[in-house]
Each structure stands twice: as structure tokens, then as C-alpha cells.
A and B are shown apart, each in its own frame.
Chain A
Amino acid sequence: MAQRVLVEALRQVVGEANVLNAPVHLQLYQYDAYLEERRPDAVVFVHSTEEVAAVIKVCHAQGVPFLPRGGGTNLSGGTIPFRGGVVIEMIRMNQLLEVDPVNLRARVQPGMFNLELGNALAPLGYQFLPDPASQKAATLGGNVAENSGGPHCFKYGVTTNHVVGLTVVLPDGEIAEFGGVAPDGPGYDLTGVFVGSEGTFGICTEVVVRIVRQPEGVKTMLAIYDSIDRGSETVSAIVAAGMVPATLEMMDQLVIQAVEQSIHCGLPLDCATVLIIEVDGLKDDLEAQSEAIVRLCMEHGAREVRVAKDEGERALLWAGRRGAFGAVARLSPSYLVCDGTVPRTALPAVLKKVAEVGERYDLKIPNVFHAGDGNLHPLILFDWRNAEQKERVMKAGMEILALCVDLGGTISGEHGVGLEKMDALRLVLSEADIRSQLRVKRAFDPKDLANPGKIFPAPLEVAGVS
């Protein structure tokens, strides 16, 4: 009954064709790239800020939860409608509204894919720097909501460093402008606060991003090692030498083998790890930089270092890294992507301990990591049909996060908390920290309608543990 009233009201504002409520359709929106499922009451396609506002006003009036959905590629359950309600499908708001090279800004609708934006800027000689490995299928709105990273963070930062303004529909349906093309707008930095809010502060319907010239030159290298420790030592040595490469990415043997099977990019199957290093900028010193890096790699025990000679070779070196998650999917029916971060120098230590966790729980754990950022992605392989194994996986995943925290790191570098890591939040945040974050949530969403049930675990009092 309530659902019929809801659907009727939604049809009024966006038209019948833009509302889905048949079970077969709703089923498609009950999962994302994480492992849990929950069916929404309706799915709505929106095309403008005004439509989003109208839909949210309906939800607000009826006290119905809602959440925006971009590409659905987030790995923490961010788009699972945990308390039912309306999934607002953003994918049709996918226009590039303005490219403004004079002011080094672009204005984009949130349903545009990250790669599409890149492809539109490239012919003009510009780029948007955040480039998550999922960029083909991840939207700008999702990037904003998760504060996504990617392989170029070490030099260029994450999404928040490149988003300067947002148009937001707040959870009561009001439209607000945060930041904009001009810098340093007076007042609190709500743009900065919104980025990384995982859909819980409302829906952004326009994004103003910083664009930069493409670099004059790029050099990409691949160093091959027989020992994973030597690979991570090299990373520290490069940084200690005062260099700031754009990329410092590593993959371990299991990932390399999987990648090689699916992409055939010429990686040796018997090596322990490969390190992808990219330097960019003015062309004058790139040769010297890459020579210095090759030397450091060899000094630290690299078996071989390949330097891409042209764009084709560079693309091949990257294809392996970008395809890593996909390739690993061939190794087992499912896997859990962990996303911990440690201070960079703790990488060798954490990798050893992750391997021990794998042995203890009898699980295979291939590893991909953003080594420059100290951000590791152990991928715990399992078969979702095996309930006992799944339980072991969850426990192992939790242990890996605890390891990261013990070494001075945190439980999520780029994938967010969502449903997945609510229970791990207390490894990092105190009760006072959590309370303070909930104050911000209340300021944005006093009725708790925007993507409810995410990020924050139940208060200890309720659980009877306080």
C-alpha cells in the first residue's frame, strides 16, 4: 500500500516511464560490487537537478529513504538500499556541461563516467587527474561520494583535491551550491565535507572539477623482482631520493599470473612482484629521472626493468594493472577486496602479516597495491556458495584491517565504509569521533533519509556494551 502511494507520487514527478517497480526490475538494483543484497521499493531515472529535487521531496514528505546510484561499482555496499526505499538512478545525467580551459575548470553532470570525461578533455590537451581503475564504469558522482583514488594519487592526490564545487540536492529537496569556479568561497568548506560522504548527505547533480594540462611527457617503467620486499624497498628508495613519481603500483605473483592469463601483456609468470612506475611533467628531465629510477631498481635487486618506448608499450604496461581486478575474478567464483592503508614504510611488514593471515585461514590472497600511497588491496579468494569459507573470509578481512590500524594506518584508503566496514569503524574512531561525525550527518539529514544504515555502527549503548 505504502509502496503504491510512493510509486504513484514518483510517477507524477518524473513520468511513468521513469519509474520501475516490477520485481524483475527491482532485483537488478538490489546488489552492487559488494556482497550483500536488499531490494528497493522503486527505482527512478532522473534527468535534471529539478527532477532530483522533486523526487527527494516526495521521499522527504513520505519519510521514505533514498539513495543515488551511479555505476554501482563501489566495493563497500554503498548502493545497496539497506532500508529499502527509492534508488535514484543517476546514469542519464551524463552530460559534460562546460569545459573552461581559461579558468582550468569543467562542469560535469554526475552520471558521466570518469573515462568519458577524460576522453572529452584529451583532444583539448587537458585532463581530470583522479582515475580509479574502474574509470570505464564509475561515474563522477560515485567518485565524489567515495572520494575515489587511483594510480596517480601519490603525486596528484585524490578526488577531493580536484573537486571545487558542487550543486547538491539536500535530503529535504532543497538545492544548494557549494563552492564553485572561484576559489576560497566564504563559509565552511561544504564541498570538502560532501566529498567522501557516501551518498549520505544528499545527491550532487553537478560537479565543478579542476582540469590541468596534460603533461608534456610521460615515462612508464616496469620493474620485475624475485622478492616482494625488494620491490617495496625500491619504492621507499625512490621517495627518499627526492623524486615524486605520478605512479608507484605493485602486483604480486598470483595477480601477475591471473593478469597474464587474461590479458597477455608479457609479464613473467615466475617473478614475485612487478612495480609500475610512471614519471611525468616537462620532458627536459624525464630521461634523467627514468635513468635514475632504473638504477635504483637494479640496485635494489630488480631482475629486469622495462621502459615503455612509445604509447603502445605504455598502454600494455597499464593494461595489466587496470585489468587486475577483472583478471583475478577468473581465479575463483568470488573475492573480497580489502582496502587498508599504512604509512608507506610499513608496507613490507603488513604484506608479510597478510600472507600469514592467508595461511592461518587457509585462504588464497593475491595482492594489488598503490605502493606509493601505502594503500593495499589484498583480494581474498573464495566461493560464495561455501558459507563456511565465506565466514573465514570475513574474519580474515577484518584481521587484515586491524593489522593496518596497528601499523599506524586505517581501514579504508579509497573504497569507503558503506555496509562492509561498519564493524571495523571502531578500530579507528573513538565514540567521540563517531558522535562528532553524526552531528554533521544530522546537520545535513536530520530525518536520516539519505542512504541510511551505512558507515556508522549501532551505538554501543543499544548493543548493551557501553
Chain B
Amino acid sequence: MSPDLASLQRRLVDLVGAHHVDAAPESTVPFAVDGRVPALTIRPGTQDEVASVVSACAAEGAALVPWGGGTAMGTGNPPERVDLVVRLDRLDRVVEFDPDNLCATVEAGLPLARLQKLAAGKKVLLPLDPPEGDRVTLGGLVAANLSGPRRLQHGTIRDWVLGLRVVLPDGERIHCGGRVIKNVTGYDMNKLFIRSFGTLGIVTEVTVKLLPMPAVQATVMGLFPELSAAASVVEEVLGSFLLPEALDLLDPGALDLLTPRLGTAGGFAVVAGFAGSREIVARQVRDLEAMISVRGGASRRFQEADSTETWDAVTNLFQALPQEPFRVLCTLAVPIGRTAGMMASVRAQAAAKGLWAAVSAHAGSGIVRVAFRPEDGCSGDGAVPGLTEALEVLRGEAAAVGGSLVIQEAPRRLKERVDAWGRPGSAFSTMRRIKAEFDPQRLCSPGRFLGGI
């Protein structure tokens, strides 16, 4: 039974007001999910309104996709259907900021950068640095478990969420966790919604732990002609007492992208970020520079604002890539020790298939971020078969060591050939039962997640 959208629209207008419900193409087309244009977009203004909207959709059998900053909307498989996009940008209030207890509660639509700004005023921060921090919302961060280079020391949002409020697919409001840093009252429901990609409901409020701001920060970049030398620095750092916040590896494609901002060109780079007291930052910078020089590499040092700027450039490396004729972004997750090897494999595949690639890895965490584009002059469609093959080969290699390849962004015609997540494993039957318990009508982001969930 397909939903009666005209009647749903009237109902929604009653709930949130006419100017927050939109059916005109100029306000629906920009919110297409993998090419599927929603019939309606809606901007609820409170968490209660979100609940009413979801209830109305449940009653009408309408499928919805929540939309935060939109930075991860390319991730996953094309949804089976999208009747409604629920925009959360009006849910941007700070509910409680409690620096003395190192925590904050905010609505899900608040951009991360605004939380950071508020926190900085009290010399605290949420030590996470996903790409596009000015656009990423706290809700999006939770739903996609986004992360950046600093996950080496600080983990992901999974390690910082204390509590969530969620509207379930039937419109019921629940809360998970709380605002204390140790909490085993019932199941750890936060973990269910973190990285659930909008398939189990809509996260409307997030409580996070915060960290005191470090006194000093610095970054060291080591440049090498060979990957092996850069990778051996990574290995030595990981086996040492050093405690870098971030430890990334960049290939020549990635370094080229950084040229405009950092003036880098050619070769491979290891980039390490340090934060803390003056003494420990100085010590680590010294040690790292020694490791680089022993291997014949060239070091560059970035302090304070320059250090921040460097990481901003590295994190947002792929954002400047042109989208025409197309670009494909994907992430390989492998055991930490396989990171550099995976980087080499990606480069070999790109070379073999005549593709342009840039690779940037969180080398202490096992995360390899890849951008592929057709070589200059090649028509977009011609590159798709080679790319399809490359992705399958790399996915196979990752799977062989227990890892995965996930497509973050790709043109629809590629997604039709390669599953965004790969084949589900032995945990899948439980996942499917969870989905069925929470969303039996399959109304929340249907089809986007692993195995068609």
C-alpha cells in the first residue's frame, strides 16, 4: 500500500506549520538521497515535533530519511524509497553545557563546530575531528560514527557519547544512557544507535563527554620518496612510548591535493599530531624528527595555529575534489598493522586500472581513506568497469584480514554494481531481527544499510 502523501502533507502542516513542510522541487531535489528525490521535506522545530512527524509517517506508512548536515548522505546503498526527508537543522539548541562536569547536552542538529566554539570558551573540547566539522551535526556524527585523525588517541564518538534521546520508528521517544561517565543501568542502548545510519529511528539529542583543552599542540610531517620508509616511522612510533593524537600516512596523490594549502609535492608523508603539556609535546616532536632524519626523510614542523591548519587540510583533503565527471570515496578498515600494505594495494589497483587515486590513512587506527577519479580526459562511464573491479579486489583483500571496504560516496551507476557495505557476516541474522523489532514496517531509511536493512 503506498502512502497517501497529500493527506500526510496536510497532517504535517498541522504539526509543524506550513512553511516548514515543502513539496516544491527546489526544496526537495537538493535533498535527494542517491538520486531518490523525496516527495516532501520537513523541518521540525522541537524534539516533540520530530516524534509527532515520525508517528504521522508510521500511521501513513511513509518512508523517511533523517538529514543532519548532509555530509554522510552519500554513504550506503540507495534507499528503497524516500517519501520524506526530515531535516534536523532547526534542532540546534544547547540544552546544557556543564564544563565543570566535562559534559554537554545538545540537540542533534547542532553543528560540531558550534559545540567546539562554545566549549573552547571554557577551555574544554570534544576531541573528535571528522571531515567538514562546520557542517557535521552531532546527530550525524552519532548516526554515521564519523571520525578523523585524532581517533588514534581519542577513539570515535562511540567513546564520547554519554546519552541519547531517540525517536523510534513508531514515534515513541526514549532516552539512552544519561549524563554520568559510568552507567550500566540496563543495556548500553547508546551503542545500538551509534552507526545505525538512521535505520532505527531519529536521534534528537546527544550528551557527550568533554576533555580539558591541551596546553600546547604541534604537528610534524616527515616526507619520504618511498612508502616503506614512511611506514616504518609509523611502526616505530606505535611500538614506542609516544602518544600522538594522530598519525596519518599520505600518498603522492594526497600530497598533491595538499599543495595549495601546505606547499607539499610528491613522495609519501607521515604526519603526527601531538598535544598536551609543553614538555611532552617538545619531547615527542624531538623524538619524531629524529626517527624521520635517521631514515633520510625531510621534516616540517607546524605549531599551534599552523598545526590546526595542517590537520584541517589533511582531514578535508577530498572535499575539494571536483565531482565531475565523478569521484568515488571509500574507506578501508583493516588491522592496524595492515594499513600501509593496504595503501600500497590501493595504489597498485589504481595504476592497473588506469585510475587517478589519492590515499590518506589514519595509520595508527587501521583506516585507509581513498578517493578515485577517472584519469584526466577519460569519460566518466568508461572508468566504471575498472573501478568496479578495483573495489571488489580491494574489498576481497580487506576481508581476507578481517576488514571491510565501505563506499562513502559514488555515482548511482557504480552503486548499482558494487554494494556499499559488502557481504554481511554471521552477525547479520541478529541485526535483521533488531531492525524488525524496531522498524517492522521498514520506514526508516529502508535499504540504505548493510544487507538491505
- B184 contacts chain A at the CB level, 8 A cutoff: yes
Which residues from chain B contact A441 at a C-beta distance below 8 Å?
Answer: 187
Q: For the A-B complex with A185-B333, A236-B100 known, give 5 more contacts whose Cβ atoms are closer than 8 Å.
A: A147-B184, A188-B195, A190-B430, A192-B158, A410-B185
B180 to chain A, nearest CB (A): 4
* CB-defined contacts of B406 to chain A, threshold 8 Å: 184, 186
Q: B174 touching A430 by the CB < 8 A rule?
A: yes
Q: Report the bound CA distance from A143 to B422 in whole Å.
A: 32
CA–CA, A230 and B383, complex, Å: 69
Is A443 within 8 A of B212, CB to CB? Answer: no
Please list 29 pairs of residues, one from A and one from B, whose beta carbons are closer than 8 Å in the complex, sorted by A's number.
A103-B366, A104-B336, A147-B188, A176-B425, A176-B426, A182-B404, A187-B428, A187-B453, A189-B192, A192-B191, A192-B194, A197-B188, A213-B240, A242-B212, A244-B212, A288-B277, A344-B101, A345-B101, A374-B181, A417-B186, A421-B185, A425-B185, A432-B173, A432-B174, A436-B174, A440-B189, A441-B187, A443-B434, A443-B437
> With the chains together, A236 CA to B101 CA distance in Å?
8
Across the interface, do B182 and A188 meet the contact criterion of CB distance under 8 Å? Answer: no
Binds A, one of B20-28, B248-256, B278-286: B278-286
Collect the chain B residues with CB atoms within 8 Å of residue A436's CB.
168, 172, 174, 189, 438
Determine which residue in B179, B184, B235, B283 has the highest number of CB atoms from chain A within 10 A of its CB, and name it. B184
Interface centre among A102, A157, A437, A440, by most chain B C-beta atoms within 10 angstroms, is: A440
- Kindly state whether residue B344 has any CB partner on chain A within 8 Å: no
Chain B residues closer than 8 Å to A69, beta-carbon distance: none
Residues of chain A in range 178-208 having any CB-CB distance to chain B below 8 Å:
178, 180-193, 195-197
Whether B186 contacts A175 by the Cβ 8 Å rule is no
Whole-angstrom CA separation of A374 from B337 in the bound complex: 37
**Residue pair A177, B186 in contact (C-beta under 8 Å):** no
Shortest CB–CB separation between residue B432 and chain A, in angstroms? 9
The reply on A153 being an interface residue by CB < 8 A is yes
Are B186 and A189 in touch, CB under 8 angstroms?
Answer: no
Total B residues in contact with A, Cβ cutoff 8 Å: 89
Using a CB-CB cutoff of 8 Å, which residues 229-254 of chain A contact chain B? 236, 239-240, 242-244
Within 8 Å CB of B173, what residues of A? 432
Does any Cβ of B come within 8 Å of A294's Cβ?
no
With known contacts A189-B195, A281-B280, A146–B184 Cβ distance under 8 A? yes
Contacting A at CB under 8 A, from B160-174, are 168, 172-174
Q: For A153, what are the chain B residues with a Cβ–Cβ distance below 8 Å?
A: 181-182
Q: Is B98 an interface residue (CB 8 A)?
A: yes
7 tightest A-B CB contacts, nearest first? A192-B191, A182-B403, A242-B212, A102-B337, A413-B182, A216-B241, A443-B433
CB contact between A184 and one of B182, B284, B367, B434 (< 8 Å): that residue = B367
Of all chain A residues, the one with the shortest Cβ separation from B186 is: A437
A182 near B333: Cβ-Cβ < 8 Å = yes
Most B CB contacts (10 A, CB to CB) among A161, A242, A281, A425 go to A242
Q: Are A184 and B333 in contact (CB under 8 A)?
A: yes
Q: Is B320 an interface residue (CB 8 A)?
A: no
Task: Decide: A183 near B366, CB < 8 A? Known: A408-B180, A439-B438.
Answer: yes
Q: How far is the CB of B283 from chain A (nearest CB, A)?
A: 5
**Closest CB of chain A to B287's CB: distance in Å?**
10
- Closest Cβ neighbor of B163 among chain A residues: A410
Say whether B427 faces chain A, with CB atoms less than 8 Å apart: yes
Q: Which chain B residues lie closer than 8 Å to A456 at the CB level?
A: 186
Give the docked Cα–Cα distance between A41 and B192 (Å).
Answer: 34
B123: interface (CB < 8 Å): yes
- Which partner residue on chain A sits nearest B215 by CB separation? A242
Chain A CB within 8 A of B238 CB: yes
Q: Is the CB of B421 within 8 A of A187?
A: yes
Residues of chain A in range 429-466 having any CB-CB distance to chain B below 8 Å: 429-430, 432-437, 439-444, 446, 455-456
Asked if B335 contacts A182 (CB within 8 A), the reply is yes
Chain A residues with CB under 8 Å of B453's CB are 187
Q: Does A196 lie within 8 Å of B279, measured CB to CB? A: no
**Cβ-defined contact, A215 with B404, below 8 A:** no
Q: Is the CB of A373 within 8 A of B280?
A: no
Would you call B265 an interface residue if the criterion is a C-beta within 8 Å of the partner chain's C-beta atoms? no
Instruction: Verify A195–B159 contact, CB threshold 8 A.
Output: no
CA distance A421 to B186 in the complex (A): 10
In-complex Cβ contact of B431 among A188, A213, A442 (8 A): A188
Contact digits for A212-231, partner B, Cβ 8 Å, 1 yes 0 no: 01011000000000000000
